[in-house]
Amino acid sequence: MGFFLETLFGGLMVGMLYSLIALGFVLIYKASGVFNFAQGAMVLFAAMAMARFYEWIPKWIGFDNKILANVLAFAAAALVMVMVAWVIERLVLRHLVNQEHITLLMATLGITYFLEGFGQTLFGSGIYKIDVGMPKDPVLILESAFQGGVLINKEDLYAAVVAAVLVALLALFFQKTATGRALRAVADDHQAAQSIGIPLGRIWIIVWSVAGVVALVAGIIWGSKLGVQFSLSLVALKALPVVILGGLTSVPGAIIGGLIIGVGEKLSEIYIGPMLGGGIEIWFAYVLALFFLLVRPQGLFGEKIIDRV
Amino acid sequence: MKHLMKSLALGATLLATATGAFAQAKEQFFPLLAYRTGAYAPNGTPWANGKQDYLKMINARDGGINGVKITFEECETGYATDKGVECYERLKTRPGVTLFEPQATGITFALTDKVPTDKIPLLTVGYGLAASQDGGVFKWNFPLMGSYWTAADMLIQQIGKKEGGLDKLKGKKIALVYHDSPFGKEPIPLLEERAKMHGFELTKIPVTAPGVEQKSAWLQVRQAKPDYVLLWGWGIMNATALKEAQATGYPREKMYGVWWAGAEPDVKDVGEGAKGYNALNLNTSGQTPKVIQDILKYVHDKGQGTGPKDEVGTVLYTRGVIIQMLGVEAVRRAQERFGKGKVMTGEQVRWGLENLALDQKKLDSLGFSGVMRPLSTSCQDHMGSTWARVHTWDGSKWSFTSDWLQADEQIIKPMVKAAADKYATEKKLTRRTPADCQS
Amino acid sequence: MLYRENGQFKSTYRSDQQIFPILQDRIAIALLLIAAFVVIPLIASPYLLTAIFIPFLILALAALGLNILVGYCGQISLGTGAFMAVGAYAAYNLQTRIDGMPMIVSLLFGGIVSTVIGVLFGVPSLRIKGLYLAVATLAAQFFVDWACLRLGWVTNGSSSGSVSVAGLNVFGLPIESPVQKYLFALIFLAVFALLAKNLVRGAIGREWMAIRDMDVAAAVIGIRPVYAKLTAFAVSSFIVGVAGGLWGFIHLGSWEPAAFNIDRSFQLLFMVIIGGLGSIMGSFFGAAFIVVLPIILDGLPYWFGIPIDTATASHLTFMIFGALIVFFLIVEPHGIARLWSTAKEKLRLWPFPH
């Protein structure tokens, strides 16, 4: 029972981390109708920027304080992501307005390749370290109730809390601020939003920047866990089932979907995995999402797809 | 269509002129398959740098191999089999091509089928097909210095030593956390054999390539509570495994890695968190050996170094140097028979690889004293030496914590023969005759 | 002037409905076939054949299959690599387990098994649409990836998970040299291209296109979505499975599941999109573009004598590849096939402006 709780908690926390990445997908899809396959590459790019700036800024300016280095690196990386968003909007999105979904999907795949190559050219292809002071050792709780206690990974716990705070901030941003309202209007109907004077291009830049900063936070958390290296972009593949399970257009969906996928993945790997030889978690997550979709084809919280004939 | 035709015409003409220029083989050409991009780049890059630097050093210090200058060209494979095959096809037609060293088990499998036809030897130091140790079937494969079966065997021996005897392993649990690919699965037959022999329980925990997210694997480790964990990873999987081991509180002292899971990129970022982690090593590291000093002097001090200077002498870099040295020595040996000062063909280099005799004196003269153990190959034995040691990470550097271990040939030889025979029947090959061994 | 149809009257329905009704087109295709079957084997170097032409042919076949599913029937599938893997491993199993099995039978068997799996994973398409379906098909991709590594009977008990074939022959004729492999793949491609073209020109093809354009309206007028979508998955998976078998047998010779991973799926999808959705010709263009481009990009620095290290060259290849994809999609979102048909339209009028 104790181990079951461990797996459950582990799954919930990993789920929160997946939803952090899924959030980027949802934000961009909500506001520009583009399924951004490049989100993984953006997470990688942001994480590499953060890791390298953390190394370089102290050398360039010449000081030794870790916290200051982290803060400056974060600011620099966020700036880089805003620039990336600007470039993408300018060079790609502007010219692909109103194209079919699959064309936009392919364009983001092209951006993925470009960012991966560009990131490795700028920042190198070794393993880089992100050190934001996350604790690495585990903590044992409920030792009285269960033999050996229930192991909680402190790093994951902190990360899950950060993710929750970020989601809350984003939810507030969307509901309460004028820009948030403008983003929701654009998500509803591009043309109608344009006709009432909402500047489409600027909104897209804002959205991609916000998604970029979300990618940066996700990159920092995952990078701190796994080390910043090319394969970080593959974590996005694990976050995709979260996106479709929760619904492409729903921020709470990304969270709930993340929790479901996280728990489902871990429980399946631990309890069903050994029977099948192990290594099942990645396809199990997708199959789980698939089953949910069979019941609700638009995801749990997604917008109902209405076909007009 | 027009695009295709134009680019093909351009490619064909350029290819023709390029090959035309090299029609006469005046130099010994070493194709260097490497991966400096992708998920395995952190480990592949120092390896590739070591290989290149050694060749540059031989040219600078000795003027080549008995006067024959060395040329080389690197080809990026990204650890992908099809790119490796494409690099092979492109570079195998170069005049003076010596041998291929794919740096990847997957590519090795693909090229094993092609090299007998193309008559170019395949050098797979410490990786590749375990069965290819049997030179009677695998004429063109050379898994020098060890394979995954010898590695697994030595790890079990070391664990046995720690327990106070191999018989003490009865009833213990050993978990294998492995990269879910041919590389990771290769040691399993030997470990299962040893498990039967000594009565320990082997738990196999695969990690989907490239091993980015391993929480479930390590939760399973926590559930199984094995006495030892063997780590069979490559690239980012190793560092992630150690981080997850720390996060789930598995004692790193109980972890033993294969020689591809025990280098600086794997532990540097984990730092103190990997303290106590053990791994096999085929060679020493550090900048003291004479060959490393020579590389620093003749290559890096002249600004010709392939990688950063502080990488010189690291574990994988040194291994790359050793690998290239074995290739160069094979050419030198072939020259002794087929003509000193001449460019050697693939077939001649193959003979050289099969008749290597690197005793301690020779190793010392090459500058490798203390770096590796002596090695000598033969027609039936394409491995040459099965020695390795265990080193441990203390938080900031590696240091050796065991004597030299040697794989138990009593167990391995029959397994190798059986596997080689199976391969021969599948491919409809016959074992080499003694006469063939002399050629 | 060159491309006018003047004087080409058809007197039978049969001649009116042929694939290439215009004489110039027929001449062009005849020349192309002669070039492909006769000229290229004679003049191309073994390297060109093994590194460019054979992968091009096999991937064009796979792109053809995928185009039927994505381009003609509108079901986005990201799991094509999985179906190639199924075809390759099924063909391998039949070939190795039964001695003396003809290779063509093995390959077709691979296609049949791939059809079954394809239809199975196509069932969700009856309920799920669009991008949701695309991500759901990734379930197929990862499941097959895992199955090929884990299920021992798939690899015939290979301990390492890597399999290989040898001694390929057709009725005693060996398929070993590059020229023989090239011709073998070419014959498969030609036959399947013809079959595919006729399928999409027929009733079933029209049903697919109706489902793609407006699936609710199609259902209203009596086209059964189940039948149309599942046959699209079936035909597509069959072709992709045979292509997978060819890829493993002819091109790689020895492979592991990673040869058919998600990168392969993306590569095929690129081919279909860049080449042109809903166009048989488009599959060929896309395959040529995606196969040849990386090789040219990789070799460019050496041809121009610019010494850059392989890592940077590789990164540049990625960057230029990605940038070109985006550029292409901006310039011609409907792919090279659209450019081609526009060019032909212009050619009809040439040298007159309108």
pLDDT digits (tens, 9 = 90+) for B208-241: 878 878 888 888 898 888 999 999 999 888 988 9
Q: Which fold has domain B26-146+287-376+417-438?
A: Rossmann fold (3.40.50)
| Interchain contact, A286 vs C220, CB within 8 Å | no
Predicted pLDDT of residue B8: 55
Assign B396 a pLDDT band (cuts: 50, 70, 90).
confident
Q: Yes or no: say if B145 and B281 are a contact pair by the CB < 8 Å rule.
A: no
Tell me which residues of chain C, numbers 153 to 192, contact chain B at a CB-CB cutoff of 8 Å.
Answer: 159-162, 164, 166-167, 176
Domain ranges of chain B: 26-146+287-376+417-438, 148-281+389-407
Residues of A in contact with C210 (CB under 8 A): none
Which candidate, A121, A47, B74, A234, places its Cα nearest to that of C315? A121
Mean pLDDT of chain C: 89
Residues of A in contact with C76 (CB under 8 A): 101-102, 105
B112 touches chain C (CB under 8 A): yes
Residue B12 has pLDDT above 70, yes or no: no
Q: Which of C120, C127, C146, C223 to mutate to test the interface with A (most CBs of A within 10 A)?
A: C146
From the CA of B241, how many Å to the nearest CA of chain A?
A: 9
**Cα(A258)–Cα(A239) distance, rounded to whole angstroms?**
8
Q: Yes or no: say if B129 and B108 are a contact pair by the CB < 8 Å rule.
A: yes
| Interchain contact, C139 vs A305, CB within 8 Å | no
B43 touches chain A (CB under 8 A): no
Q: Yes or no: say if C278 and C262 are a contact pair by the CB < 8 Å rule.
A: no
Predicted pLDDT of residue B1: 53
Q: Yes or no: say if B270 and B245 are a contact pair by the CB < 8 Å rule.
A: no
Residue partners of A178: CB distance under 8 A and separation at least 6:
none
Under DSSP, is residue B36 helix (H, G, I), strand (E, B) or coil?
Answer: coil
C214 touches chain A (CB under 8 A): yes
Q: Yes or no: say if C272 and C66 are a contact pair by the CB < 8 Å rule.
A: yes
Q: Considering only alpha carbons, which residue of chain B is nearest residue C166?
A: B427
Q: Yes or no: say if C234 and C75 are a contact pair by the CB < 8 Å rule.
A: no
A279 touches chain B (CB under 8 A): yes
Q: Report the percentage of chain C scoring pLDDT > 90.
A: 49
Which candidate, B264, A219, B4, places its Cα nearest to that of C287? B4
Which candidate, C290, C315, C322, places its Cα nearest to that of A230? C315
Reported as a single tens digit per residue, the pLDDT across C204-241 is: 999 999 999 888 899 999 999 999 999 999 999 999 99
To 10 degrees, what angle do helices B236-247 and A200-226 make? 70
Identify which of A278-282, B82-86, C26-30 has the greatest average pLDDT. C26-30
**Cα(A302)–Cα(C130) distance, rounded to whole angstroms?**
13
Length of chain B in terms of residues written:
439
**Cα(B439)–Cα(C171) distance, rounded to whole angstroms?**
36
Q: Number of residue pairs across B and C with CB atoms under 8 Å? A: 118
Predicted pLDDT of residue C33: 93
Q: Considering only alpha carbons, which residue of chain C is nearest residue B45?
A: C311
β-strand partners of C255: C163
Residue C54 has pLDDT above 90, yes or no: yes
Residue B22 has pLDDT above 70, yes or no: no
Assign C187 a pLDDT band (cuts: 50, 70, 90).
very high
Mean pLDDT of chain B: 86
Under DSSP, is residue C21 helix (H, G, I), strand (E, B) or coil?
Answer: coil
To 10 degrees, what angle do helices A66-91 and A200-226 make? 140
Identify which of B75-79, B352-356, C54-58, C319-323 has the greatest average pLDDT. C54-58
pTM of the predicted model as reported, rounded to 2 decimal places: 0.89
Residues of A in contact with C63 (CB under 8 A): none
By Cβ distance, the residue of A111, A293, A307 closest to C128 is: A293
| Interchain contact, C311 vs B80, CB within 8 Å | no
Flag residues of chain A having pLDDT under 70.
148
Tokens of C234: 């079936």
C62 touches chain B (CB under 8 A): no
Predicted pLDDT of residue C202: 92
Higher pLDDT, B183 or C193: C193
Work out the average pLDDT over C37-58: 91
Using the structure block, give the residue that is written with the tokens 């694990």: A238
Assign B247 a pLDDT band (cuts: 50, 70, 90).
confident
* CATH of the domain spanning B148-281+389-407, picked from 3.40.50.2300, 3.90.1720.10, 3.40.50.150, 3.40.50.300: 3.40.50.2300
Predicted pLDDT of residue B20: 41
Assign B23 a pLDDT band (cuts: 50, 70, 90).
very low
A209 touches chain B (CB under 8 A): no
Residue B340 has pLDDT above 90, yes or no: no
Q: Yes or no: say if C263 and C59 are a contact pair by the CB < 8 Å rule.
A: no
Tell me which residues of chain B, numbers 74 to 93, contact chain C at a CB-CB cutoff of 8 Å.
Answer: 74-76, 78, 80-82, 85-86, 89-90, 93
Predicted pLDDT of residue C238: 97
What are the C-alpha distances in Å from C205 to residues B294, C70, C79, C266, C276?
70, 12, 22, 25, 16
Tell me which residues of chain C, numbers 19 to 48, contact chain A at a CB-CB cutoff of 8 Å.
Answer: none
Tell me which residues of chain C, numbers 303 to 322, contact chain B at a CB-CB cutoff of 8 Å.
Answer: 303, 309-311, 313-315, 318
Tokens of C78: 């990201």
Domain ranges of chain C: 46-349
Assign B277 a pLDDT band (cuts: 50, 70, 90).
very high
| Interchain contact, C129 vs A297, CB within 8 Å | yes
A2 touches chain B (CB under 8 A): no
Assign B4 a pLDDT band (cuts: 50, 70, 90).
low
Q: Report the percentage of chain C scoring pLDDT > 70.
A: 99
Is the dihedral angle over the CA atoms C54, C60, C65, C69 positive or is it negative? positive
Assign C316 a pLDDT band (cuts: 50, 70, 90).
confident
Residue A148 per-residue DSSP state: T
Structurally, at CATH architecture level, domain C46-349 sits in Orthogonal Bundle (1.10)
**Cα(B280)–Cα(B159) distance, rounded to whole angstroms?**
12
| Interchain contact, C47 vs B15, CB within 8 Å | yes
- Rounded to whole angstroms, the maximal C-alpha distance in chain C is 67
Assign C200 a pLDDT band (cuts: 50, 70, 90).
very high
Chain C: partners with 3+ C-beta pairs within 8 Å: A, B
B224 touches chain A (CB under 8 A): no
Work out the average pLDDT over C146-151: 86
Which candidate, B409, B381, B423, B419, places its Cα nearest to that of B134? B381
Tokens of A167: 């989601």
| Interchain contact, A110 vs C323, CB within 8 Å | yes
